[in-house]
Amino acid sequence: MNNRRKQRGNVVNTPQTNTDVQIEDRLVGRFLEFLAKDIQQRPEVVKPLSRGIAARLSALTKGKRKRVDIEAPIEGAVDL
């Protein structure tokens, strides 16, 4: 994965470091914790996707669907 940063008006790709991944993992984890807590506290706000949104998502991902092999090895470092 690459990070993008600006350097004197130009976008420069830099390799993602383990620190970047750890920060990203913590942020995602905190967001998921927030989401779980909110759903527990206010389950009435959880609604199914409308047909319109589902159709739009389907159109956006058409031709980009990829089967995931859950038995395939994971590439890169993984903290569990």
With bands split at pLDDT 50, 70 and 90, how would you rate the model's confidence at 1? very low
What are the structural domain ranges in the chain? Answer: 16-61
**Torsion (CA) 25, 46, 40, 38 in degrees, nearest 10:** 50
With bands split at pLDDT 50, 70 and 90, how would you rate the model's confidence at 9? low
d(CA 23, CA 28): 9
The CA-CA-CA angle for residues 54, 32, 48, to 5°, reads 25
Question: Three-class SS of residue 45?
Answer: helix
Q: What is the pTM of this model?
A: 0.41
pLDDT of residue 79: 65
Instruction: Convert the pLDDT of each residue in 38-77 to its tens digit.
Output: 999 999 999 999 999 999 988 988 887 777 787 888 787 7
